[in-house]
Structure 1
């Protein structure tokens, strides 16, 4: 409980800032001085119910919300996407600024069509061999090899050889949408 009390000031500051409130805004709404609120947030003033109740009411929180550790479940629980023979497993939350996927590329007898879209991609081959068509280049990457490229360069990927290629791919939101959604 002592650790939770030490973290109370920082959590209070974070809750205030998350609501876009200044020290003055919250102090006025809670009926206290800016100095008292500032000292409470910095841990220089001991928290009491007399101070916390008006502050938490103004923030729309319970006192327990400031005392309880705010650790969210870090596991990513998103459905696997199957598209054009690929198996795409999301490795980051849906609204992450950088999208990461484990993609299994199937063996294709014909050369895949080149695509162009905004974004930048970084990839790493986990297993198998990946054929990367990139502009005029026809490359084969093996296990442990990586590549990065501007996705405005015409490109396509597929497994090279007789077995699927498993790859970790990282790209921005635009690139993720291109790889995981079908055209409407």
Structure 2
């Protein structure tokens, strides 16, 4: 596909994505700060797509720019995992999609001395599933132990803390939505 063909396909792709999300042009204009007339011309192919126009749309829809322009796949579906070390724990990103829900494997190392809980708050919503070990989960005034094979979900604007319940290592999967949107499972 040449550049003109790629750019010609952007408008219909943007219109389909907006309709799929159930957003009007007026709502999209309010969210992105791009005028309604510009968005309409972009979708109809009367306006050429620019990075300045596509970045706020990609952010709003929670998709990579590649999805908006129909870029060919890179060929390697593997996610190159670069661990993040914070608060004495290791977070391994399992997703690389900008915006939307982020997936992590979290490892809490064993510790001979129990850590002093320091609850934190931030915007978002979190789901977790314990793979191994016993997780101590503080959410608000609740102090829970979550064993392997069990899951929990909570609004991260409530004070919360995660640690080992018994000093042993804990491994868990975490899904975090910075916008605080609860998950929706079809048919539920």
- TM over 0.5: same fold? yes
Q: Cα distance 1:153–1:21, how it changes in 2: closer, same or farther (>3 A)? A: closer
Measure, in 2, the Cα distance between the counterparts of 1:119 and 1:22: 35
Measure, in 2, the Cα distance between the counterparts of 1:128 and 1:13: 53
After TM superposition, the score normalised by the length of structure 1 is: 0.58
Q: C-alpha root-mean-square deviation of aligned residues, in Å?
A: 3.1
Q: 5+ residue gaps in structure 1?
A: 27-65, 176-184
Q: Cα distance 1:17–1:145, how it changes in 2: closer, same or farther (>3 A)? A: same
1:108-146 per-position Cα deviation (integer Å, ceiling 9, x unaligned):
513320111111100000111100011111111111100
Measure, in 2, the Cα distance between the counterparts of 1:144 and 1:152: 25
2:73 aligns with: 71
Q: Cα distance 1:14–1:128, how it changes in 2: closer, same or farther (>3 A)? A: farther
Q: Cα distance 1:82–1:94, how it changes in 2: closer, same or farther (>3 A)? A: farther
Q: Cα distance 1:138–1:107, how it changes in 2: closer, same or farther (>3 A)? A: farther
Measure, in 2, the Cα distance between the counterparts of 1:75 and 1:129: 30
Q: Cα distance 1:12–1:115, how it changes in 2: closer, same or farther (>3 A)? A: closer
**1:171 aligned to 2:176?**
yes
1:8-39 per-position Cα deviation (integer Å, ceiling 9, x unaligned):
x9x7863454683525x39xxxxxxxxxxxxx
**1:106 aligned to 2:128?**
no
Measure, in 2, the Cα distance between the counterparts of 1:85 and 1:174: 26
Measure, in 1, the Cα distance between the counterparts of 2:168 and 2:77: 33
Question: Aligned-pair distance for 1:87?
Answer: 0.9
Measure, in 2, the Cα distance between the counterparts of 1:134 and 1:84: 17
**1:149 aligned to 2:154?**
yes
1:63-105 per-position Cα deviation (integer Å, ceiling 9, x unaligned):
xxx9xx9233322224111112101100000514111100001
- Count of matched residue positions in the alignment of Structure 1 and Structure 2: 126
